[in-house]
Amino acid sequence: MSTETPVVVDQEQPKTPLLERFPGRGSAVAWPLTLAGIVVTVAGCFLSWSYSSDVLGDLSINFYPGGVQNCMILLALVTLVFLLAHRGPLTRLGSWVDTAAAVRVLGLGALGYMTLALVLIAVQAGGLININPGGWVSWLGSLAMAAGGLMLVSEPHKDPLFAKTSSWVEISTIIVMMALVLFGAAYALGIADGGSFVLFLVLLAAVAFALAKSGVFTWIGIIAQKNRQVLMLGAFVVAFLFPFTQGGSDENMSIATQVLIFAATALGLNIVVGLAGLLDLGYIAFLGAGAYVGASLSTSTFAQIGWKPPFIVVVVVGALFSATLGLIIGSPTLRVSGDYLAIVTLAFGEIFRLTMGNLDGNNGPDLTNGPNGIPAIPDLKLGSFDFGQPHVVLGITLGRFANYYFLLLVLAAVIITIFSRLNNSRIGRGWVAIREDEKAAEAMGVNVFGLKLFAFAGGAFLAGMAGTVKAHHDVSVSPDQYVFLESAFLLAAIVLGGMGTVAGVLVGATILKLLPEKLRFVADYRLLIFGLLLVLMMRFRPEGLVASQRRKLEFHEEDEGLAERIEEVHLEEQGATA
C-alpha cells in the first residue's frame, strides 16, 4: 500500500496595506486622540503663527485668525463631522459612509497643510525662529489628528449606491453644493498671495479625497443623475452670479473669461478626442481660424476685408470657416489613425500658424498683416450695448471683462447643449464605438469615415465660434498666439478633467488656466509642476478627475464589484419605473 506525500502549495498571502500596519490601530485612544488633535489645532489657529505681518496674509495677530488659519479651522471642523459620524451623535450618517477612511485622509491632509504652512512662513520670514507658538500648537494638533485617524478602523457600512433619500434632501444638497462652488471660486480668485493659494488647494484636495474615499461622492453622483436638470440650472445660476461676487475686479474677471474661452474650445476638442478617439495635436488652429475671421470682419483699421457684417453673422461665418478647414484637412488625413494622425494634425497646426504669418502682402495676399497680426480690434456692440463700457447692475459695477464673461457664458451654454445632444445621440454612440474598436464598429455597420469626419468638422465648428469672441476679447490677433503648446494644454485639460464629459472639461480648463495665474511666484517651475501633476494623474486616476462610469470601467476592468453594483442600481431603477 503506497502513500503519497501531500504537496504543499505556497499561496501568496495578500499584502496588508501600509496604513493598516500603523501601530495602535484599533486602539481605544484613537477617537479621543483625534478629537483632542482637532481641539488643539483650532485653538492654535486663534494664536499668532508668525512674527511678520506680511507672510501668508497677516498671521501675526492673536485671537484674529487670518485666511490661512480660517482654512485650517474649516479643515478641522470637517474632520470633526466625520469623527462624530464614526462615533457620536452623527452615527446615522456613519452607517452609510466610511468615516474612518475620511478621518484618515483629513488628518493627513491637516498635517500636510500645517507642515507646508510652517515651511512657507520659515522661508518667507527668514527662518523657523520667526514662527510663533500658535503655529507649533496647530502643527502638534494636526499631528495628533493624523495619528488618531490612522489608528481608527473602518466599520461595516451600507453601500451609498442604495441610499434612499427624499427629493427635497437631494435638491437641498445640490443647492448647498452650488453655493459652496460659488463662494469657493470667489474666495480662490480673491487670494493674492501664491503661498496662501497653494494652501487653499491642499485644503480642497484633502476634502475632495476624503469625500471620495468615504463614499459621499458616490451618493452625490447618483443624486446628480436623478436631478440632472436641477443641477444644470444651479450650475448656470452660479456661473451667472459669479461676476457679482467680484466687486468690479477686472483682474479676476479677465481670468474667468479666459477660462470660459479655454473651456469652450476644449469642449469642441472633447468631441474629437474624448468621444471619437482621434488624437488631434493641431486643434488650436481652428480657434485661430475663427479669431482671424472675427478680426478680419471687424472695424479695425488693420482689417483688410471691407465687408463688416453684424457680429451674429461673423460668429456663423467664423464657425463655418473653421468647419470647412476641418473638412479639408480631415478628408485626406482621417484615413490614417493613431500616431500618424497625431503627426498630421500637428503639422496642420504649424502650417496654419506659418500661413497666417505669410499673408502680409509680400509672401502672399495682404489679409492678416503678417507676423504683426491684426491689432486695435474694437469692442463689440450689440445694439446700444457696448461691451467695452462698464455697467452698473444692482449697485455693482460690471466692467469690460464681466460683459464678455456673460457673452461667453451664453456661448458656452450653446456649446454644452450641442455636445450633450451629440453625446447622447446615435452619432455619439457611433463615436464611442469607433474609439473603442474601429474595426469592430465598421463590421457592425458604423460609417466610420463619415462619423470621424463629422467629429473633426463639428469640433472645428465649435472652436471657430469661440475664436470669433476671443478676437474682440483679446483686442488683437497674431500668429504667435496659436502655437503647438496651446494645443497641448487643450488636450491636457480634457485628459486631466475627464474625457467625454462636460463637467470634466470645465474642471480641467479651470485648473489649467487658474493655476498659472496664481502660481506666478514659481514661474520658472510651472511647467515642471504641471508635468508632475499629469504623471501622478496618469498613475493614480487615468480616467480623469470627473470621469463617466464608462471610462472608469475601461480603466479599471478588474473592478467587477463596481460593475455589478452599477448594474444592480440600473435594474432597481428600471423596476421602480415599471
Output the CA angle 331-335-338, nearest 5 degrees. Answer: 120
Domain match, 329 and 218 both: no
Domain assignment present for residue 10? The answer is no
Domain match, 172 and 251 both: no
pLDDT beyond 70 at 561: no
How many CB atoms sit inside 10 A of residue 59's CB? 29
| DSSP per-residue codes, 299-326 | --TT--------HHHHHHHHHHHHHHHH
φ/ψ of 391, rounded to 5, equals -130, 145
Domain match, 214 and 323 both: no
Residue 568 pLDDT grade (very low, low, confident, very high; cuts 50, 70, 90)? low
pLDDT beyond 60 at 435: yes
Q: How far apart are CA 562 and CA 557, in angstroms?
A: 9
| DSSP per-residue codes, 67-85 | HHHHHHHHHHHHHHHHHHH
Domain assignment present for residue 462? The answer is yes
Residue 13 pLDDT grade (very low, low, confident, very high; cuts 50, 70, 90)? very low
Domain match, 135 and 50 both: yes
Output the CA–CA distances (angstroms, integers) from residue 115 to 70, 74, 136, 139, 438, in the order listed.
16, 17, 10, 7, 50
Half-sphere exposure for 85 (CA within 13 Å, toward CB): 22
Domain boundary among 237, 259, 275: 237
Q: How far apart are CA 34 and CA 383, in angstroms?
A: 62
pLDDT beyond 70 at 405: yes
How many CB atoms sit inside 10 A of residue 26's CB? 10
Domain boundary among 171, 206, 237: 237
Domain assignment present for residue 74? The answer is yes
* Residue 460, pLDDT score: 92
Greater model confidence, 469 or 334: 469
Counting every residue written for the chain, the total comes to 578
Output the CA–CA distances (angstroms, integers) from residue 42 to 110, 149, 211, in the order listed.
11, 17, 21
pLDDT beyond 90 at 173: no
Q: Which three cell numbers stand for residue 202?
A: 491642499
Residue 466 pLDDT grade (very low, low, confident, very high; cuts 50, 70, 90)? very high
* Residue 7, pLDDT score: 41
| Letter string b/e over residues 392-402, b meaning 16 or more CB atoms within 10 A of that residue's CB | eeeeeebbbbb
Question: Which stretches does DSSP call E strand in 416-549?
Answer: none
Domain assignment present for residue 573? The answer is no
- Tally of domains within the chain: 2
How many CB atoms sit inside 10 A of residue 93's CB? 17
Helix/strand/coil (H, E, C) string of 432-462?
Answer: HHHHHCHHHHHHCCCCHHHHHHHHHHHHHHH
Domain match, 126 and 268 both: no
Domain assignment present for residue 52? The answer is yes
pLDDT beyond 70 at 201: yes
In tens, the pLDDT along 215-245 reads 888 888 788 878 888 888 888 888 888 888 8
Domain assignment present for residue 575? The answer is no
Return left, alpha or beta for 507; rule: phi > 0 is left, psi -120 to 50 is alpha, else beta.
alpha
Domain match, 216 and 300 both: no
3-state helix vs strand vs coil in the chain, percent to 5: 70, 5, 30
Q: Which three cell numbers stand for residue 361?
A: 502682402
Domain match, 140 and 219 both: yes
Give the domain extent around 507. Answer: 246-547
Q: What is the CATH number of the domain that holds 334?
A: 1.10.3470
In tens, the pLDDT along 76-85 reads 999 999 999 9
Domain match, 315 and 216 both: no
| Letter string b/e over residues 474-497, b meaning 16 or more CB atoms within 10 A of that residue's CB | bebbbbebbeeebbebbbbbbbbb
Domain assignment present for residue 569? The answer is no
By DSSP bridging, strand 385-386 and strand 391-393 are unpaired
Domain boundary among 188, 210, 237: 237
Domain match, 344 and 393 both: yes
* Residue 187, pLDDT score: 86
* Under 8 Å between Cβ of 37 and 139: no
The pTM of the full predicted model, rounded to 2 decimals, is 0.82
Domain match, 281 and 422 both: yes
Domain match, 176 and 270 both: no
Q: Is the dihedral of CA 97, 98, 100, 102 positive or negative?
A: negative
Residue found under cell 467664423: 318
Q: Which three cell numbers stand for residue 128?
A: 523657523
Domain match, 263 and 368 both: yes
Domain assignment present for residue 61? The answer is yes
